[in-house]
Amino acid sequence: MIELSDRLEKFILEIPKVELHLHLEGAIPLNTLFGFIQRQGDNKLIKNLKDLKKRLVYSNFVKFIKVWLWKNSFITEYEDFEELAYRVLQSLSQQNVKYVESFYSPRDFTFRNKKLSACGITESLIKGKKKAFDNFGIRSELIVDVVRDYGPRMGMNLIKELSGYLGRGLIGIGLGGSEKLFPAGFFTKVYQKARERGFRLTAHAGETDGAKSIWAALNELGAERIGHGLRAYEDPRLINFLQERQIPLEMCVVSNIKTRVCKSFKEHPVRDYFKDGLMVTINSDDPTMFNTSINNEYLILIQKFGFSLEEIRKINFNSIQASFMTDIEKGIMKETFHQEWEKLSSKYFKK
Ligand SMILES: [Zn+2]
């Protein structure tokens, strides 16, 4: 009989999963990134994967953003984006992720690299994700990330440029970047326009700024989900509101520790939020930059926060419910997840 911890790990790996908060650029497999780095000629600082891993350590959120931009500077061709989407989805499919809603930030690239356009990047990612679907059966949708730091005008332009991809691989809009310096209120019109055009709406909030930033994402943007929502605890009224309305939180535990927005697992509110009946989902954010994976995030809930398997099951189903799929698609997915869960739990935990 294999050890309980081994069985648990196998079980978590094998259950079907949904990922709702993942940045494609931050999920790039390190060997793919290393290949892109090498293509630019000898890099004296990054001679092997070990050197690359050493670069992926951050003393604070600002340092993290610096490394983020440095890494992006090696993604230079349209083919790279196709490869990026394909490799990321391949890796997720190996963890039995069945459905993904992933962010991408085209302005990080078009801003510096004039030969790339947001449309071209979107088309390349769609090609990559189609190939991943054909080869691995993994379904995915794109969410374009409006980076706060580039301002609302650029956000508005992105909405106008990319609306034509809605229903063809693109499903929504997100808001990332410097939360404190560029409050959500700057982007009210961008979100209004996005909603009119049929984009689904999410926004990072309560990650590097407090509860008021979450209120702003809800009230001023009409966000349907909140990316992180870490600091909601600052305002009990907000906790009540999130609970009553069942507004999904796309929580990413390891990310919060690695960027130091939360000091330790002990201080992380994920357990309290779940107990308070908030709509918690678990996600990996930028897994290869944080040396994590969706699989690992699930395990951490069990090992560091004491989640029971029944609670894990609730989290697993929350992600289906919180997704931007149609109700019919959600119903079908819940049924298959339920059957798989029953099958795997009797395989690993019943005699
Ligand atoms: Zn994120």
Q: Is the pLDDT of residue 351 over 70?
A: no
Helices and strands (H, E) in the chain, number of each type: 16, 8
Distance 205 CA to ligand 1 centre (A): 10
Q: Are strands 139-147 and 97-104 parallel, antiparallel or unpaired?
A: parallel
Domain with residue 165: its CATH number is 3.20.20.140
Q: What is the dihedral of CA 231, 236, 239, 245, to 10 degrees?
A: -140
Could you tell me if residue 27 is inside a domain? yes
Q: Is the pLDDT of residue 87 over 80?
A: yes
In this structure, are residues 284 and 19 in contact, taking their beta carbons and an 8 Å threshold?
yes
203 lies in which domain range?
Answer: 10-344
Segment 235-258 shows an average pLDDT of 97
In this structure, are residues 96 and 14 in contact, taking their beta carbons and an 8 Å threshold?
yes
Distance 253 CA to ligand 1 centre (A): 11
Distance 306 CA to ligand 1 centre (A): 25
Could you tell me if residue 3 is inside a domain? no
pLDDT confidence tier of residue 5, bands split at 50, 70 and 90: confident
pLDDT in tens, 7-35: 999 999 999 999 999 999 999 999 999 99
Rounded Cα distance between 61 and 65, Å, is: 6
Q: Is the pLDDT of residue 1 over 70?
A: no
Distance 26 CA to ligand 1 centre (A): 9
Could you tell me if residue 4 is inside a domain? no
Could you tell me if residue 20 is inside a domain? yes
Distance 179 CA to ligand 1 centre (A): 12
Q: Is the pLDDT of residue 188 over 70?
A: yes
Q: What percent of the chain has pLDDT over 90?
A: 92
Segment 147-162 shows an average pLDDT of 96
Alpha helices in 99-185 (DSSP H): 107-110, 118-136, 151-162
Distance 162 CA to ligand 1 centre (A): 20
Distance 68 CA to ligand 1 centre (A): 12
Distance 81 CA to ligand 1 centre (A): 18
Rounded Cα distance between 148 and 203, Å, is: 10
Rounded Cα distance between 234 and 217, Å, is: 16
Could you tell me if residue 2 is inside a domain? no
Could you tell me if residue 349 is inside a domain? no
| pTM across the whole model | 0.96
Q: What is the pLDDT of residue 40?
A: 87
Number of structural domains found in the chain: 1
Half-sphere exposure of 59 (CA within 13 A, CB side): 0
Q: Is the pLDDT of residue 102 over 90?
A: yes
Could you tell me if residue 350 is inside a domain? no
pLDDT in tens, 263-296: 999 999 999 999 999 999 999 999 999 999 999 9
In this structure, are residues 152 and 182 in contact, taking their beta carbons and an 8 Å threshold?
no
HEC states along 51-109?
HHHHHCCCCCHHHHHHHHHHHHCCCCCHHHHHHHHHHHHHHHHCCCEEEEEEEECCHHH
Distance 156 CA to ligand 1 centre (A): 20
Measured from the Cβ of residue 100, the count of other Cβ atoms closer than 10 Å reads 28
Distance 146 CA to ligand 1 centre (A): 12
Those residues whose C-beta lies under 8 Å from the C-beta of residue 162, and which sit 6 or more positions away, are 118, 119, 122, 144, 170
Distance 256 CA to ligand 1 centre (A): 10
pLDDT confidence tier of residue 45, bands split at 50, 70 and 90: confident
Q: What value, to the nearest 5°, has the Cα angle with vertex 275 and ends 326 and 215? A: 65
For residue 201, the cross-strand partners are 173
Rounded Cα distance between 290 and 297, Å, is: 11
In this structure, are residues 198 and 168 in contact, taking their beta carbons and an 8 Å threshold?
no
Task: Reduce the DSSP state of residue 261 to 3 states and report it.
Answer: coil
Distance 350 CA to ligand 1 centre (A): 38
Distance 249 CA to ligand 1 centre (A): 12
Distance 175 CA to ligand 1 centre (A): 9
Could you tell me if residue 278 is inside a domain? yes
Distance 204 CA to ligand 1 centre (A): 7
Distance 3 CA to ligand 1 centre (A): 35
Average predicted confidence (pLDDT) for the chain: 96
Distance 172 CA to ligand 1 centre (A): 14
Place of tokens 């939180």: 249
